[in-house]
Amino acid sequence: MTTSEGGSERAETLVRALGVLGGQAFASLGLDPSLGEFRRSDRPDLADFQCNGAMTAARAAKRSPRDIAGEVVEILRRDPMVADAEIAGPGFINVRVSSAALSHRARRIFEDPRAGAESVSRSRRVVIDFGGPNVAKPLHVGHLRSTIIGDSLQRLFRFMGDDVTSDVHLGDWGLQMGLLITEVEDERPDLPYFDAAFSGPFPSDSPVSMDDLERLYPQASARSKADGSRRDRARRATAELQAGRAGYRALWRHFVETTQTGLEREFRALGVSFDLWKGESDADPLIPEIVADLKARGLAELDDGAWIIPVARDTDKKAVPPFMLVNSEGASGYHATDLGTVLDRKRTLDPELSLYVVDQRQALHFEQVFRASAAAGYAAESALEHIGFGTMNGPDGKPFKTREGGVLKLHDLIEQAKAAARARLIEAGLAEGVSSEEREAIATRVAIAAIKFADLSNVRTTNYIFDLDRFTSFEGRTGPYLLYQCVRMKSLARRASEEGAAPGSIIVELPAERDLVLALDSFADALSAAYERRMPHILCEHAYALAQAFSGFYAAAPVLAETDEARRRSRLALTLATLRQLELVLGLIGVEAPERM
């Protein structure tokens, strides 16, 4: 697989080298060389790689596919890279690569600090908009998934060589602000923020804590639902805030800063960071200019007192309502702030690609925003991508809530996972001989690995069920299993250096060694597939396949106990190459293995 836009620094993988050979073989028969492409075999018991080109060639050349395959096989067999080539079924070409080719490739991966990965040849400026928490409103599972998936993508895109700017895009500008302002006013009318005549200076310390915000918002929201006039007050306060009323702005700053401090702590616990902590409010100053511009260019239309941009297309399969620039009350909302943000980013970052990692349920919103941005000329539509995802559900099949039925708190979630991880460590007899601090640190890493791997290993667009018990198991397709394999490699590497054993030239002999090298070799393709499709589960699959191949190797081939020196050194090198690659992939999904456990 190639990477797009300017191609990539292509790794010399076995599958690609075979493709070149295959291409030459087809060309020498007067056929299209692209028919010679290979892929990993569906039947690893029969072959390493397979090529289906003879079937396609047969149709064009009006010959039997087996005849063509036979001739290609003859040519392939002459190459030292090929141990065995044969025709299977109606004309598939099956190849086993030679030990020499595997050994050569393994040595290259061992020497490569990127463990066989490739990178893009031209770095792009990429914005990743993820996290998307809201001021005062608690985080929910949608934010958690956005954070985990977005962080993996930011790590992957950076690793591939792009110039990534991540932005948390705080929801800091909606009605919830007016709700909070008026709620604080009702509780503390004495504070200076509510005196319209007073213009400051306002106190520099926040009158509200994170706990206050968490209490005040649900309270305000419930009251406004029950009472229309309460809601109208909140609406007016929101409008006045947006219009710049000094006391409201000062109070709002406190809300934003208090929330941000709390969020930074939660995200840090997850090992996630953002380059920018911008928010919807940062787009607000651009909106009057945008409105004037779009009116002047005839792009915005007046509709029942509102300014809209029609974005429906004849080809639409379902209705796409107009983009709402200014509503009939003269206010701008979620559409407008996203459009303003596109323009802000164009001016400040000039991204070539923007990824919006947001719940699938906002697909229509982004469709409208992207079309409006393209119409306005702020971004090419192809440069804006909604990276949607499904929900994380509880055992009842509904979006996951905490045990109390409340909203998710990242901190509580991590604590729950840590408790499960501690129990699992005891059950597995792990992390026994270490200090209690170290055991705690190990439990934390196991917990984070469990949560992230469980989330990322699903195809991101599907829903999945939160099941801590399964996620924290050291067996099966889990984060803890991967950590465990990684720690085994680390302790082997540590023992080797204690014993003064050094890695040497890799010579692939055993079937389990072949399997391991084939797994190592597929890293480049897994990376480019994950990168192209913005699909972290492909990284998870690779990590799991690699760990399993290592497990097979470790069971079949003694490393330090091997008495033949060359063999011992070869196997040690293979272990170190695998360790490096596994740590790299785990790093791309935001997971870090402890030194021991």
In the bound state with ligand ARG, the residue whose beta carbon lies nearer, of 151 and 338, is 338
Phi then psi for residue 460, to 5 deg, are -60, -25
What's the min distance (Å) between Cβ of 147 and ligand ARG? Answer: 11
DSSP string, 502-535: --------SHHHHHHHHHHHTHHHHHHHHHHHT-
Per DSSP, the three-state class of 372 is helix
Angle between helices 14-28 and 65-77 (to 10 degrees): 120
For residues 338 and 521, which CB has a smaller minimum distance to ligand ARG in the complex? 338
- Nearest of 84, 109, 63, 81 to residue 24 by alpha carbon: 81
CB of 380 to ligand ARG, least distance (A): 17
Q: Give the E-state strand segments of 317-401 in sequence order.
A: 323-326, 353-357, 384-387, 392-393
- For residue 427, how many other CB atoms are within 10 A of its CB? 11
Q: How far is CA 446 from CA 234, 309, 366, 474, in A?
A: 44, 49, 35, 9
* Of residues 339 and 492, the one with the C-beta less far from ligand ARG: 339
What does the block give as tokens for 526? 């897994």
Q: For residue 507, which phi and psi values (nearest 5 degrees)?
A: -125, 115
Minimum CB distance to ligand ARG smaller for 134 or for 147: 134
Closest contact distance (angstroms) between CB of 134 and ligand ARG is 5
Shortest reach from residue 450's CB to ligand ARG, in Å: 25
Q: Which of 121/348 has CB closer to ligand ARG?
A: 348
Between 36 and 132, name the residue whose CB sits nearer to ligand ARG: 132
> What single letter denotes the amino acid at residue 315?
T
Residue nearest to ligand ARG (CB): 132
Residues at the contact surface with ligand ARG, assessed by CB under 6 A: 129, 132, 134, 169, 171, 338, 356, 358
Q: Smallest distance, Å, CB 537 to ligand ARG?
A: 22
- Distance between CA atoms of 216 and 106, rounded to whole angstroms? 60
Give the angle 83-86-88 at the CA atoms, nearest 5°. Answer: 145
Q: Which is nearer to ligand ARG, 169 or 422 (CB)?
A: 169
> In terms of CB distance, is 357 or 430 closer to ligand ARG?
357
Residue 326 or 357: which CB sits closer to ligand ARG?
A: 357
- Cβ of residue 504: shortest distance to ligand ARG, in angstroms? 52
363-376 and 287-296 helices cross at what angle (nearest 10)? 60
State the number of CA atoms in the 13 A half-sphere of 579 facing the CB: 20
Least separation in angstroms between residue 187's CB and ligand ARG is 26
Shortest Cβ 492–ligand ARG spacing (Å)? 44
| Residue whose CB is less far from ligand ARG, 132 or 536 | 132
How far is C-alpha 254 from the chain's CA centre? 31
Please, what is the minimum distance in Å from the beta carbon of residue 263 to ligand ARG? 12
The amino acid at residue 463 is: N
In angstroms, give the least distance from the CB of 233 to ligand ARG. Answer: 23
CA dist., res. 336 & res. 333, Å (int) = 5
3-class DSSP state of 206: coil
Pairs from 524-527 (Cβ < 8 Å, separation ≥ 24) = 524/10, 524/11, 524/13, 524/116, 524/117, 524/118, 525/1, 525/13, 525/15, 526/585, 527/117, 527/118, 527/156, 527/159, 527/160
